[in-house]
């Protein structure tokens, strides 16, 4: 089953909608946006399906945030300010007609994407991505190089025996060097030295642990890109959700209006902490479950360095 970053962003947003009293307002583009800048001499003018909810402030088109300087409710257009394209660190991009336009999004999609990638990097301290590589054994060579694999630990090594059984025999004597000498092997190299007796010409397979790799494209598959099992997907969703919920209260701090908290009595400042604690507890529980599952699936195996 393919699970893309786009699907994960949508799932995080769906989950977070259950913990808010306000739903995002949205409309659509009537015409495509082809430029990437909005100079004052020729600003970007968005032709929208409806401007009844549009005001001066932030709009989200696909994953780009824009700052709207003015709007026309008769012509259903909105003018982007000169600094408004790629607002708040988002990437300015072209947008097709009928693309979704979200008005003052509670959780911008690019922020959700960042929270997902931050969680993927964070879980690497507890659970790891399991991958494998192989090489052909040479009787005259004892040390073999791994280039740009970022191996944290070799879980097990084995070699394929001769014969119809196709048996994989464990290598019991090997030494892994995560920081190989750069003068001998070059940068980003790691090595393993084998001290077992192996038939020359046979394939040696190394199963290793490495840090999960964050997404770089919305269309990438979760398991293929990160190296994590699909069962870890909900752990990442929960981790991203609690990270995002943590910032609901700072957005409502009474920095400009001392009466804001008094008026908003239904949602007192700090109310989101309950949801944060609940989601964080679920995240920790699932993370521990996946950690235990991985320890069971890949138990520590004894090997000898020499």
pLDDT digits (tens, 9 = 90+) for 281-298: 999 999 999 999 999 999
How far are the Cα atoms of 59, 138, 216, 257, 270 from residue 221, in angstroms, in the given order? 28, 36, 11, 45, 36
Q: Same domain, yes or no, for 99 and 133?
A: no
Confidence band of 194 (pLDDT split at 50, 70, 90): very high
Closest CA to 102 of 90, 115, 117, 120: 90
Domain encompassing residue 58: 23-105
Mean pLDDT of 48-76: 96
pLDDT digits (tens, 9 = 90+) for 69-88: 999 999 999 999 999 999 99
In a domain, residue 167? The reply is: yes
Q: Taking a C-beta distance cutoff of 8 angstroms, is the pair 177, 192 a contact?
A: yes
In a domain, residue 304? The reply is: no
Confidence band of 27 (pLDDT split at 50, 70, 90): very high
The owner of tokens 């995560």 is 178
Q: Taking a C-beta distance cutoff of 8 angstroms, is the pair 29, 98 a contact?
A: yes
How far are the Cα atoms of 111, 118, 241, 290 from residue 281, in angstroms, in the given order? 22, 18, 12, 14
DSSP, residue by residue, 75-89: TTEEEEPTT-TTGGG
Where is the domain boundary, 42, 70, 105?
Answer: 105
Which residues share a beta bridge with 173?
A: 304
CA atoms within 13 A on the CB side of 93: 13
Number of structural domains in the chain: 3
Q: What is the pTM of this model?
A: 0.88
Q: Same domain, yes or no, for 36 and 76?
A: yes
Q: Same domain, yes or no, for 35 and 144?
A: no
pLDDT over 70 (residue 261): no
Where is the domain boundary, 165, 193, 210?
Answer: 210
Q: Same domain, yes or no, for 64 and 113?
A: no
Confidence band of 306 (pLDDT split at 50, 70, 90): low
């Amino acid at each position: 089953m393919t699970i893309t970053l786009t699907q994960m962003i949508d799932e995080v947003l769906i989950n977070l909608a259950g913990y808010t009293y306000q739903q995002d307002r949205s409309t659509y583009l009537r015409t495509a946006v082809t430029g990437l800048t909005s100079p004052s001499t020729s600003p970007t003018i968005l032709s929208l399906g409806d401007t009844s909810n549009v005001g001066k402030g932030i709009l989200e088109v696909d994953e780009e945030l824009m700052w709207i300087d003015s709007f026309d409710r008769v012509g259903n257009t909105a003018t982007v300010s000169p600094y408004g394209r790629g607002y708040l660190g988002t990437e300015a991009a072209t947008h097709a007609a009928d693309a979704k336009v979200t008005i003052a999004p509670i959780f911008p999609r690019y922020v959700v994407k960042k929270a997902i990638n931050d969680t993927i990097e964070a879980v690497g301290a507890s659970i790891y991505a399991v991958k494998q590589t192989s090489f052909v054994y040479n009787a005259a060579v004892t040390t073999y190089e791994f280039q740009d694999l970022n191996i944290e630990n070799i879980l097990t090594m084995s070699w394929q025996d001769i014969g119809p059984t196709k048996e994989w025999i464990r290598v019991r004597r090997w030494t892994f060097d995560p920081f190989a000498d750069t003068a001998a092997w070059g940068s980003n190299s790691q090595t393993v030295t084998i001290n077992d007796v192996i038939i020359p010409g046979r394939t040696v397979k190394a199963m290793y642990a490495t840090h999960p790799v964050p997404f770089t494209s919305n269309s990438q598959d979760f398991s293929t890109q990160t190296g994590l099992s699909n069962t870890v997907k909900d752990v990442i969703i929960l981790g991203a959700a609690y990270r995002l919920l943590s910032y609901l209260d700072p957005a409502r701090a009474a920095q400009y209006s001392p009466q804001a908290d008094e008026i908003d009595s239904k949602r007192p400042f700090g109310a989101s902490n309950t949801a944060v604690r609940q989601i964080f507890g679920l995240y920790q529980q699932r993370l521990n479950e996946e950690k235990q599952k991985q320890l069971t699936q890949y138990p520590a195996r004894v090997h000898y360095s020499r």
